[in-house]
Amino acid sequence: MAVSVHTHSQLAGDYRLSSRQAAYAAANGAENKKAEGTIVLDVRKVTVLADFFVICGASSPTQVKAIVHNIEHTLARLGYPAKTVEGKMEGRWVLLDFGNIIVHVLQERERSLYNLERFWNHALIVDRASWLETPRSSD
């Protein structure tokens, strides 16, 4: 009898992207919908919950929902569907769990109140230049 061995990424449903690539794609999906203050945290050395967190803000429930929709669509298209989405109906704080990356999209009031960046202050903040996609020229 053959025994198949799967990596954490394969069990998470990711056959094409690393957790880093997925986090960067999520961050760019948020930026494409004008998210505010998007950050990527490398949490691998501080928790077993995930490899990366993406945290971003929005000014209204409508914008929160647009950002969430774009992130879900972007990652699903790349073969990285969300396992769980919480808070989508209210649009105040939405948590998207992709297995080894977790995305938080919060209205600014909730972001200030809960201050997730401070809570996870032992995580490594990934330099924005490392993950931000630059618009391609049309030449």
- Exposed, middle or buried: residue 30 (CB in 10 Å: 0-12, 13-18, 19+)? buried
Per-residue pLDDT of the chain (139 residues; tens, 9 = 90+): 443 333 344 444 445 689 999 999 999 999 999 999 999 999 999 888 899 999 999 999 999 999 999 999 999 999 999 999 999 989 899 999 999 999 999 999 988 887 887 777 788 788 888 888 755 434 3
Tell the CATH topology of 16-126. Beta Polymerase; domain 2 (3.30.460)
Q: Give the domain ranges of the chain.
A: 16-126
In this structure, which amino acid lies at residue 13? G
Helical H segments across the chain, by residue range? 8-11, 19-31, 61-77, 108-114, 116-119, 128-131
Helix (DSSP H) and strand (DSSP E) numbers for the chain = 6, 6
62 in helix, strand or coil? helix
